[in-house]
Amino acid sequence: MINEISDRVEVDGRPVSLPTAKVYILLNKPPGYIVTMSDPQKRKTATELLPPLPFRLFPVGRLDQESEGALLFTNDGQLANRLLHPRYGFKKIYEVKVKGSVTDQQLNKLKQGVFIDGRKTAPDKISLIYRNRQFSYVRLEIHEGRKHEVRKMLYALSLDVKKLKRVAMAGLTIKGLRPGFWRYLKKEEVLRLKKQAGLPA
């Protein structure tokens, strides 16, 4: 059996190029890493945490430097594009720690949508995990993919974000995956994503 990633195949002494294998990796990104292929400022990048492969993987979506959690990498551009498109309904779930006690009024405003960058956010599922006078934990489920959307939503209500973690994206969770560690997606996970995205298995 030929390993499409590591084996070199030749015919009459000439290398034969095989179709590039499609790879899907879920990373639990720690804070302090930027999501980019390379950085002129020599900051730590999330790609440094991935295994060495003979081809490039690209991140699906964004996760800013101080945020942490689920981040998918792949070289399957067609699936990546559909995972990011609101039309296909792939949701992202965040757990956010904010300073102070979040009010019920603020939670209701988040559920109804707030204006950021001149446009109202789509209504999403918002729930309170815990709150006291010092801090609160809020869970947000969103389907849009706007840049820094979660932070901007909370800032719009004068909430000071102390920690932001994406605990799941497109049904893939970081449960059991320590910060800085990664895993390949299971075959059934890839098939589920493709089915939801309307792509052939």
Structure token pair of residue 197: 């995205």
Residue 6 has phi, psi (to 5 degrees) of: -105, -20
For the beta carbon of residue 73, count every other beta carbon within 10 angstroms: 22
DSSP 13: T
Cα 17 from Cα 19, distance rounded (Å): 7
Cα 33 from Cα 69, distance rounded (Å): 11
Beta strands in the chain (DSSP E): 10-11, 14-15, 24-29, 58-59, 68-74, 92-99, 115-116, 119-120, 125-131, 135-142, 161-169, 172-173, 182-184
The residue from 12, 39, 64, 160 that is catalytic is 64
Q: Contact, 59 vs 72, CB < 8 A? A: yes
104 is catalytic: no
Name 161's Cβ contacts closer than 8 Å, sequence gap at least 6.
96, 97, 98, 151, 154, 155
- The three-state secondary structure class of 55 is coil
Give catalytic residues, as residue numbers: 64
